[in-house]
Structure 1
Amino acid sequence: MGRKIVVALGGNAILSKDASAAAQQQALRDTAEHLVKFIENGDQLIISHGNGPQVGNLLLQQAGGSTSDNPEMPLDSCVAMTQGSIGYWMQNAMDQVIKEKGLDKTVATVVTQVEVSADDPAFANPTKPIGPFMSEEDADLAKKQNPDFSFVEDAGRGYRRVVPSPKPIGVVETKAVNALVDAGIVPISVGGGGVPVVSDGSRLAGKEAVIDKDFASEKLAELVGADALIILTAVPNIFVNFNKPDQKKLEHVSVADLHQYIGEKQFAPGSMLPKVQAAIDFVEATGNEAVVTALDNIEGFINDGSGTIISAK
């Protein structure tokens, strides 16, 4: 049996400027070409993905077309809707590449609920960017049209809506994911960070929030007993002094060193910082390694161990 690995894919890797279904399906077809290399390597693959651009676009569509007879869906339902649509596109793309390569593997999407605490302070402080980047003028217009929405400037790239982002404390469908892995099936799980739910007696109640997909992926990897957590991003390595003349890429780094770099504010909030924090959480909880690298470096990681490898020491 190969390694059991959770591979976390960002929502921006699926959607760039073209929000059409065809463009996102083509992006996932390209993504599948890279992800299938883990299957060829004999790894037991579990895929997670972001949905920030997609759920934000869906919310704007819902708000724009809402009527008293056909009201918009709440945020937790929109997260579930994008889990389903992206999961469909991803498993369809994976199935195609798997057949082209003559492999015997099935891919299945699990609409996943992720438990959060009702007392999480994030509910009073929305910080998670979702949806498209906007000009300040467009954000002001969207705010007038949707008074309950909050918008902030995001990393110098424009304005985006922000929503609460509580930390995950459990993954409801953990046993289902492990059962699929044991059956030789590739699960797609905690899509978009999972549907945020809180325990309310015998039921789970959905919450108006979006969980960071890196933290949800870490919690899933921890609970399913993964041998490694691999977080895919836009760059092949984590850097310190990023985009400065003395920038340095990190190849093998300890959690202690990463804690020091966090203290130096080396990593941008909402960008690299949650990936680094999720990697630290996984290593500290399991003692296993986490990896941060780029989608197009998967072959390099498998063959040569390139990327940023985070270990306990």
Structure 2
Amino acid sequence: MLVVAALGGNALLERGEAVTAENQRDNVKKAMHALADVVRAGHQLVITHGNGPQIGLLALQNDAYDSDKTFPLDILGAETEGMIGYLLEQELENQLGESHAVATLLTQIAVDPDDPAFAQPTKFIGPVYDKDEAEELKNKHGWDIAQDGDKWRRVVPSPEPQKIQDLKVLKILLQQQVITICIGGGGIPIVRQEHGTYTGVEAVIDKDAASALLAEQVDAEALLLLTDVDAVYKNFGEPDEQAIGRMTIDEAKDFDAPSGSMGPKIAAAARFARSGKFAAIGRLEDALKILEGNAGTRISDEN
């Protein structure tokens, strides 16, 4: 089975952890142990991942170097794809030995320059701050900020992915049975210019939406959206909360979930499930159980 596994931020950092190389390596070991089990079970794997804390840290480091000559988000996104891909690739090779080829692909994704998301930034990037600190950084850097739980973070535009520019290369890798790490952080956002060439744009594409598009276009049989929650819950956080084992596409579309956390995952899962395959949401460490239907929340066109 060809499986696209989209790793949530907890694959690299737990909430509140410092963005250090040591913390990321420790978390990557756990993540790749779970995905190595999927490969050992005989499945072909494509891995995508987020980059919110990493791209935010790079932006701060860049600003410290020269606040008047900061690098744009597409450049920083490419840097994080390489950095995170390296960590994932190395640890997966450590888990599987030399029996499987693994490669990281920097992935450009075209977006619509007229996407309304550019006028309404919503995508969280970077570390969390107290409100006063976030306001200070907003005034200093011209950021947009928004509340994330009991903290505050920077938000940037998150346009819809339209076209995977490097799809031909990805398909070649899959034909050769290469475990491919791609679409890091939702991919590098680019736009087509009037004369036909492409250039990067200041945005971060939602990783789950891009992963659903990828899964469709490589004809994957399953899309796993892996996070730190064991399933989708009805009345999450309330005394009567209840895990949902299965959802139809219509139920997923109508499900009321926070736009900053589970909402994009459910929307991406429902989008892919329209292809007649299935998507599932659950804990990263349960990846194989989720794939086998023994954990998580499965979303498909079947009851």
Q: What does residue range 24-173 of structure 1 map to in structure 2 within 5 Å? A: 24-66=24-66, 71-99=69-97, 104-146=99-141, 148-154=142-148, 156-173=149-166
In the alignment, the residues of structure 2 paired with residue 240 and residue 218 of structure 1 have an alpha-carbon distance, to the nearest angstrom, of 23
Q: Once the 2 structures are TM-superposed, how far is the Cα of residue 12 of structure 1 from its aligned partner?
A: 3.6
In the alignment, the residues of structure 2 paired with residue 94 and residue 276 of structure 1 have an alpha-carbon distance, to the nearest angstrom, of 27
After superposition, the CA RMSD in angstroms is: 1.4
In the alignment, the residues of structure 1 paired with residue 10 and residue 152 of structure 2 have an alpha-carbon distance, to the nearest angstrom, of 16
Q: What does residue range 190-205 of structure 1 map to in structure 2 within 5 Å? A: 190-200=183-193, 201-205=195-199
Q: 1:282 aligned to 2:272?
A: yes
Asked if structure 2 preserves the Cα contact closer than 8 Å seen for 1:12 and 1:50, the reply is: no
In the alignment, the residues of structure 1 paired with residue 234 and residue 198 of structure 2 have an alpha-carbon distance, to the nearest angstrom, of 41
Asked if structure 2 preserves the Cα contact closer than 8 Å seen for 1:15 and 1:54, the reply is: no
Q: Once the 2 structures are TM-superposed, how far is the Cα of residue 164 of structure 1 from its aligned partner?
A: 0.2
In the alignment, the residues of structure 2 paired with residue 119 and residue 193 of structure 1 have an alpha-carbon distance, to the nearest angstrom, of 19
Letter in 1 for 2:176: A
Out of 222, 230, 240, which is 2:234 matched to?
A: 240
3-state DSSP of counterpart to 1:115: strand
Deviations 1:236-292 (A, max 9, x none): 11111101122111111101112232xxx3x111100000000011112x1110011
Q: What does residue range 182-197 of structure 1 map to in structure 2 within 5 Å? A: 182-197=175-190
The two structures have a TM-score, normalised by structure 1, of 0.92
Letter in 2 for 1:81: E
Q: 1:279 to 1:303 in 2, by over 3 A?
A: closer
Bigger drift between 105-114 and 3-12 goes to: 3-12
Q: Once the 2 structures are TM-superposed, how far is the Cα of residue 141 of structure 1 from its aligned partner?
A: 2.0
3-state DSSP of counterpart to 1:214: helix
3-state DSSP of counterpart to 1:161: strand
Letter in 2 for 1:305: N
In the alignment, the residues of structure 2 paired with residue 207 and residue 171 of structure 1 have an alpha-carbon distance, to the nearest angstrom, of 15
Letter in 1 for 2:123: K
Q: Once the 2 structures are TM-superposed, how far is the Cα of residue 312 of structure 1 from its aligned partner?
A: 1.1
Q: Which residue of 1 aligns with 2:18?
A: 18
Asked if structure 2 preserves the Cα contact closer than 8 Å seen for 1:133 and 1:157, the reply is: no
In the alignment, the residues of structure 1 paired with residue 214 and residue 2 of structure 2 have an alpha-carbon distance, to the nearest angstrom, of 12
Letter in 2 for 1:206: G
Structure 2: give runs of 5+ residues left out of the alignment: none
Q: Once the 2 structures are TM-superposed, how far is the Cα of residue 299 of structure 1 from its aligned partner?
A: 3.6
3-state DSSP of counterpart to 1:61: helix
Bigger drift between 172-181 and 58-67 goes to: 58-67
Asked if structure 2 preserves the Cα contact closer than 8 Å seen for 1:8 and 1:214, the reply is: yes
Identity of counterpart residues, as a percentage?
A: 37
The two structures have a TM-score, normalised by structure 2, of 0.95
Q: 1:95 to 1:52 in 2, by over 3 A?
A: same
Deviations 1:26-79 (A, max 9, x none): 2112211111011101111000000011111111111122166xx321111000
Deviations 1:127-155 (A, max 9, x none): 11111110012112212321x2111111x
3-state DSSP of counterpart to 1:6: strand
Q: 1:137 to 1:84 in 2, by over 3 A?
A: same
In the alignment, the residues of structure 2 paired with residue 54 and residue 195 of structure 1 have an alpha-carbon distance, to the nearest angstrom, of 14
Letter in 1 for 2:29: R
Equivalent pairs, count: 299
Asked if structure 1 preserves the Cα contact closer than 8 Å seen for 2:161 and 2:205, the reply is: yes
Letter in 2 for 1:290: A
3-state DSSP of counterpart to 1:236: coil
Deviation >4 Å, runs of 4+: none
Asked if structure 2 preserves the Cα contact closer than 8 Å seen for 1:11 and 1:192, the reply is: no
In the alignment, the residues of structure 1 paired with residue 132 and residue 297 of structure 2 have an alpha-carbon distance, to the nearest angstrom, of 39
Letter in 2 for 1:92: Q
Q: 1:300 aligned to 2:289?
A: yes
Letter in 1 for 2:119: A
In the alignment, the residues of structure 1 paired with residue 295 and residue 99 of structure 2 have an alpha-carbon distance, to the nearest angstrom, of 28
In the alignment, the residues of structure 1 paired with residue 163 and residue 30 of structure 2 have an alpha-carbon distance, to the nearest angstrom, of 31
In the alignment, the residues of structure 1 paired with residue 115 and residue 59 of structure 2 have an alpha-carbon distance, to the nearest angstrom, of 23
